[in-house]
Amino acid sequence: MNSEFAVSVHALVFLNHHYKEIKTSEEISENICINPARARKILSKLKKAGLVNTKEGSVKGGYSFTLDAAKITLLDVYQAIGKRVIDISWRSGNVNMECLIASGMGDIMDEVYEKLDDVCKEELSKITITDIDSKIFKNGE
């Protein structure tokens, strides 16, 4: 998992808090504490997935959230980003070595990572944007 996921969740919670209001990438990035260009890159993925709306224009343009936050899960966000939760690009050993440990470890660990990814996706499917919002605002307190 990378920081794009955290930025995406943050942006959606921020936009949900300002439901149906249009917020510029500058306003969103200021709240997240990132560069506006980085915010726009990530927000474009959310738009492509249908999680945010955009309005063109340099004066009144920006992003909004009009979906039911109770129905948008962190799995939806994860899928919009297009990354695996558990993604290891390096493999130990070498499939061409005679040693069974060295030649077999990479495939075994790939299976472990795949199972971990499935468990993580299951957990992400249980958490909604509303859940995150409620934790921040402690159910209206």
Q: Cβ neighbours of residue 80 under 8 Å, at least 6 residues apart? A: 8, 45, 46, 48, 49, 51
Q: 35-92 pLDDT, tens per residue?
A: 999 999 999 999 999 999 999 877 788 999 999 999 999 999 999 998 777 777 788 9
What is the architecture of the domain spanning 3-86+127-140? Orthogonal Bundle (1.10)
Q: 78-130 pLDDT, tens per residue?
A: 999 987 777 777 889 999 999 999 999 999 999 998 899 899 999 999 999 99
Residue 53: C-alpha distances to residues 6, 78, 83, 98, 102 (Å): 19, 18, 22, 55, 49
**pLDDT surpasses 90 at 6:** yes
Burial letters 96-132, b for 16+ CB under 10 A, else e: eeeeeeeeebeeeeeeeeeeeeeebbeebeeebbbeb
Q: Where are the domains of the chain?
A: 3-86+127-140
What's the CA gap between 120 and 27, in Å, rounded? 31
